[in-house]
Structure formats: C-alpha cells, structure tokens
Structure 1
Amino acid sequence: MTPENLLAFPPDADRAGFADVRMHRELAASLTHLSESCAEAGHPAAAPLAEAARLLKTKRVGPEAFARYYIIGTALLDGHEAGLEAEAEALLADVQTGRAPFHVSPRGGAGALDDLMNRQMGEEAANFAPVPPETATAFATRLSAGLDLLRHGLPALHAEITTIVHHVVCATAPEGATVQFDGASHYQFWGLLLLNPRFHTTRLAIAEVLAHESAHSLLFGLTIEEPLVLNPGDERFPSPLRADPRPMDGIYHATFVSARMAWAMEGLAASGLLSAEEKAEALKAAEADRANFASGLSVVDAHGILSPTGQRIIDNARHWIARQGMDAARPLS
C-alpha cells in the first residue's frame, strides 16, 4: 500500500485490512523476539511464545492476546519473571482460540478482558464500571441498527470499522462519578471499543460514536513505525475539547477524530437514508465537529511537534475539511 493511500483521510476497507494484518505481523515479530530472549535465558516461556508467533502467521486474534503481549513484554523489561510461563501459556491459548466474531459484552462479564483491563489500565480501569448483562444485550440491538445504517449509507466506513473492531464492551462510569465517559479505546487492546450504553440511544448516535472511537483505533494502527507527535509526554496544553489540559497526542487524536465525525455525519445527511429530523441532527452534529476540529487544529498548529506521519495525516484531514467547506459555500448553478 502506498503512503498516499495509507495516510489518506477518507475511510478505506483495504487500508483497514492492511493495518490489521500489519498489527498481527508486528505482534508475531515481537513475540519471536521475546521467545528468543527467553530461550537464551533458559526460561520455559520461550516455547509457548514461539508457538504463538508461529500460529500468528495465519491466525487473527482478539484484544486479549495483544494486551497479554504487553504484560509479558513489560514484565521481561522490568525483570519480573514470576508467573511469566503461565502468562505465555495463556497468550498461546488466546492465539489458538483465534478471534471471535463481532460481539458485545458487559463490563464485569467480558471474560479475560475484565482482568486484563484492570491490570493494564491501572487506576484508569475504575472509570469503566460493570453493567448488567441485559443492558449489554439491549445496547447490542441499538449497535446493530447503527451498523446497519453505516452499511447502507457509508459502506467504506462500515467496512473499516468492522475490519478493525471485533469486541465492544459496555461500561458506565462508577456510581457518584462527576464525569461520564462516552466511549474509549486503548492502543494495547487492538480490536476493542468501550462504549457507555447510557448514551448513544439512536442509530445516528451509534453511527457517530463508532466513527469517533474507530478513528482512534485507526490512528493506533497507522503509527507502528513512528508516533504522531514528538512533543514530550509530560507536556500539557489547553484543550479546546476537554476541561483539563491534555498531552499533545491526545489533542491531536481528538482533532483528527472530529474531522472523521464530520465526514460521517455529512455523509449520512446526504445519503437519503435519514428522516428529516435525523438529517437536521446529523448536520448540527457535523457543524459542532467542524468547530471542534478548527479549535483542536489551532492548538496542534501552534504547539505540535509532528512526525512526518502525523503531519501527513492531519494535513489530509485539513484539506478535506477545507475542500468540503468550499463546496458547501459554492452557489448552486
């Protein structure tokens, strides 16, 4: 895939497939490296890690395997080898099982993912509280309606989302929390989205949040070779999209995602599939998304130190926003 296609702004099913294959290829390569290091040290984790790497040449896996790789890699770097063989065996089992079809689970009923989230996200995991199974079942019905709207209205975006995302976990903010999360994704859990069922009550809202959160995942998949931004991680900047100061990487993500949400809402508004009320709602959302993009871009332009990849991606988003704005302003002949 050419750099132009890889970093283009609009959704692309082939690019999503390429990113997914590359994530698995990189996982296999990293596991091979870890297995060789373990073998040199005479550690019994070497064999299951090597077998997992071998199977990944043809297997696709869920977010559990990716998360467990980070646990193992971090433990080896820190010299914490206790329990490492069991972790390697669990990762091999994840790979042998393979990736499940697209499904929705409740937080607290997501199997191994619940424990892996608690371990990898640390204190942040407490922001994602369990929900009853029936809540996840009801949300899965709404999610299906939103995906169906995207399948017919924006097939390229639908294909991108369903190529990258395979497991949605429903969660809410804990009781008494002052801030409710809307949705979330994590680079260590490739293929996973966390969505709050208290929001996204219509098919259009579902379509918008899927465009939002899957865009974060796409950026994760596009930045294997270099990061988006080169700013120090401890630097904070005023965020036009959140009350608290944010690192540049977070502001960059939010800016790109805002453009993607505008793309989705304007595309659905023009699809002929929405009611008059839905169309008005979509256009109102797109207007807010465009404003958020402009606000975020002002911070990125003023303070961002971008990698070549980061510069190309945000420039492509900038050009789409500007071009579509010009087309909308052009009088009808």
Structure 2
Amino acid sequence: MSLVRSYRRDIFQRLAPHFPEGRTPPCLHPGLVWEAARPTMLDPVRVADLARSLATAGFMPPLEHVTLDESALPDWCRWGADQLLADVQRTSGTGDADFSTPDMTEGIAHLESAREILRRVWPEAALETDLLIRVIVYVQGGAFRSATLRPTFGALYLGTTSVESPAAAFEALLHETGHHALYLRNHFEPYVTNGDVMVSHPLRPDPRPVAGAVHAAHVLARMAYGLTRWAAEPTAPSEAAERRDGALHRLRGTIEALEPVAAWTDGGRQYFDDLLKWEKELTAGHPG
C-alpha cells in the first residue's frame, strides 16, 4: 500500500496541472498512467474528464469490465490491444487481422468466482489485486492468453482461455497481478543490472530479456502458492492441483534459466534468495 501511494503521487505530480480544481482522483487508473507516460502527447481534456469521473470513486473503486466492442472505448484501451495484437502476430505468426470480442457473460462470472476464492484462501493476495487492478479488458484472438502493460498499469488484458473456468481465472489473477506487483517494486528498486540480456524460459520460449524472466519466476511462484492453498481444500476441483503442478514445473525451469545469467542488485539477490526458498518449500510439499 505504501508503494501504491508513492507511485500514485509520482504519476499525479505529472498530471496535477490538468486536474480540475478540487478533483484530484483518490486512486490510480490505467487511463491516467497512460497519459502520464506520454507527456508530449498528453490530452488535457481527457485527463480532466477522467479525474472528474474518479473524484468520488474511493481508494478502491469497483472493478471495471471492458470489451473491445464498446462504442466509447478509451484510447488507452485501444492502444493496449494494438500493442498486444502486434506481439501475438510477431511471436506466433497467426496472421490474425484483429482481436475479436467474445461474449464474456460466463467469463466474468468465472472471474468473480475466482476473486471470492482468492479472498478465502489467500486474503493478502486478494487485497493486493484490489489495490492494483482497476480494469479487466477482455479480448479474443489467436494465441493470446493474458497480459499486463506498464504504460496502462492497473489494467489486465485477458483472453477467453484465461477465464474459461474459475481455476483458469484464479491463475490469471495471480499471474497478472504479480506482474503489477513486480513492476511497482522495480519502479523504486531494480533487481537486475543486466535486464536486457536475452534468455529463454518456460513461460516465453522465444528469447526474452532477463528482466522478463524475473517476472516469469515471480508470477509462477505466486500461481504455485495460491493454487497450493486452494488445492488443499477438500472441495477444490482437480484443475487447481493440475495447474499448481504445471506452475511448479515451469517455475523450476525459469529459475534454472535465470541462475547462470542474472546479475542481481543487493535487493534483487535478497528477493531471489527468498524466491528460491519459497520454490523449495512448495516443491517439497508436492514433489510430483
């Protein structure tokens, strides 16, 4: 919460001249983060309108659900979708012309079910999600599953496979909120000094920067831990344990990819040592 307040203050210092008098938003929003990230193209009218709409929202307003067919789709949302589509086309070669908009009635129900399960089995992670995530953007296309973009911090982009069941949605929340949490930490303290060096890891087999592999290890550890807590419940579906085992296997592979390559800062070394300890404890409890 302290880091959220500091990051919010940093973003709002850049936008304050454009806030209407007496209308400083109480919370961050991906639309505001996006505007602050592009100072030469910032739209003062858009910033003022969003500030007015958020002024009475409270520190943790209700989660927004957005699909790409909405008539008044925010520019930040369309920009994010375009970035993700380009990445899908570049890495998978699907040739998709565009994302399509699925019927998300069932998917949203699965997501809300996952949020309730997370509150029950890991309330600290649920609070973290409430603090960091303002908007869920639902898209469908090719190999796309889920994503977080730093310039639209506060938004999760989820594909249909990420909300096809409560267990899938549970995993996606832990995964993408984990990216947000690590982006927030690294905004104030870097963990590696060679983040641009390329390495392959189980989440993204195409070579990606070491900084991305650190993110992969972070989110996989969160997924494995959260799914372990849920799978321990007698009523948990078998899918929770299956996803736990998959996350643990990929976590071990990501750690093995990082260990010979990553150059850690002092804070990063402590972080990685803690992650290694966590992984060993989780694996000892579920060696299969």
Give the letter for the 1:25 counterpart.
R
1:247 aligns with 2:209: yes
Query: What is residue 93 of structure 2 aligned with on the other side?
Result: none
Aligned length: 272
Query: What is residue 169 of structure 2 aligned with on the other side?
Result: 206
Give the letter for the 1:300 counterpart.
L
Query: What is residue 94 of structure 1 aligned with on the other side?
Result: 50
After TM superposition, give the deviation of residue 169 of structure 1 in Å. Answer: 0.5
Give the letter for the 2:2 counterpart.
F
Is the Cα–Cα contact under 8 Å of residues 146 and 162 in structure 2 kept in the other structure? Answer: no
In 2 relative to 1, CA 232–252 (structure 1 residues): closer, same or farther, beyond 3 Å?
closer
TM-score, reference length from structure 1:
0.73
Higher strand share: 2
After TM superposition, give the deviation of residue 263 of structure 1 in Å. Answer: 0.1
Give the letter for the 1:271 counterpart.
E
Give the letter for the 2:76 counterpart.
L
Q: Which of the residues 259, 276, 289 maps onto 2:221?
A: 259
1:323 aligns with 2:285: no
Give the letter for the 1:71 counterpart.
R
After TM superposition, give the deviation of residue 327 of structure 1 in Å. Answer: 5.2
Query: What is residue 114 of structure 2 aligned with on the other side?
Result: 146
SS at match of 1:304: coil
Q: Which of the residues 163, 177, 181 maps onto 2:131?
A: 163
Query: What is residue 108 of structure 1 aligned with on the other side?
Result: 69
Is the Cα–Cα contact under 8 Å of residues 62 and 190 in structure 1 kept in the other structure? Answer: yes
Q: Which of the residues 242, 251, 258 maps onto 1:300?
A: 258
Give the letter for the 2:249 counterpart.
A
Give the letter for the 1:102 counterpart.
L
Query: What is residue 182 of structure 1 aligned with on the other side?
Result: 145
Is the Cα–Cα contact under 8 Å of residues 99 and 139 in structure 2 kept in the other structure? Answer: yes
Whole-angstrom distance in 1 between the partners of 2:30 and 2:146? 17
After TM superposition, give the deviation of residue 124 of structure 1 in Å. Answer: 3.7
After TM superposition, give the deviation of residue 152 of structure 1 in Å. Answer: 2.1
Q: Any unmatched runs of 5+ in structure 2?
A: 89-97
Whole-angstrom distance in 2 between the partners of 1:28 and 1:102? 21
Whole-angstrom distance in 1 between the partners of 2:70 and 2:271? 37
Query: What is residue 92 of structure 2 aligned with on the other side?
Result: none
Whole-angstrom distance in 1 between the partners of 2:184 and 2:214? 15
After TM superposition, give the deviation of residue 91 of structure 1 in Å. Answer: 1.4
Q: Which of the residues 304, 309, 312 maps onto 2:270?
A: 312
1:228 aligns with 2:191: yes
TM-score, reference length from structure 2:
0.84
Query: What is residue 283 of structure 1 aligned with on the other side?
Result: 241
Q: Summarize deviations over 1:100-136 as a string: whole Å, max 9, x none.
A: 52121112328453x224446765444571405xx13
Query: What is residue 38 of structure 1 aligned with on the other side?
Result: none
Whole-angstrom distance in 1 between the partners of 2:28 and 2:72? 15
Is the Cα–Cα contact under 8 Å of residues 102 and 165 in structure 1 kept in the other structure? Answer: yes
Give the letter for the 1:21 counterpart.
R
In 2 relative to 1, CA 314–30 (structure 1 residues): closer, same or farther, beyond 3 Å?
farther
Q: Summarize deviations over 1:255-292 as a string: whole Å, max 9, x none.
A: 11111111011000113441xxx1x3322222221121
Moved more, 87-96 or 294-303: 87-96
Give the letter for the 1:116 counterpart.
W
In 2 relative to 1, CA 157–217 (structure 1 residues): closer, same or farther, beyond 3 Å?
same
Whole-angstrom distance in 2 between the partners of 1:111 and 1:216? 28
SS at match of 1:238: strand
Query: Which structure has the greater CA radius of gyration?
Result: 1
In 2 relative to 1, CA 112–61 (structure 1 residues): closer, same or farther, beyond 3 Å?
farther
SS at match of 2:211: helix
RMSD: 2.6
Is the Cα–Cα contact under 8 Å of residues 216 and 254 in structure 2 kept in the other structure? Answer: yes
Query: What is residue 160 of structure 2 aligned with on the other side?
Result: 197
Q: Summarize deviations over 1:168-227 as a string: whole Å, max 9, x none.
A: 000012xxx4xx121101111121100012443221221111111111111111112232
* % identity of equivalent residues: 19
Whole-angstrom distance in 2 between the partners of 1:53 and 1:236? 47
Query: What is residue 8 of structure 2 aligned with on the other side?
Result: 24
Is the Cα–Cα contact under 8 Å of residues 29 and 53 in structure 1 kept in the other structure? Answer: no
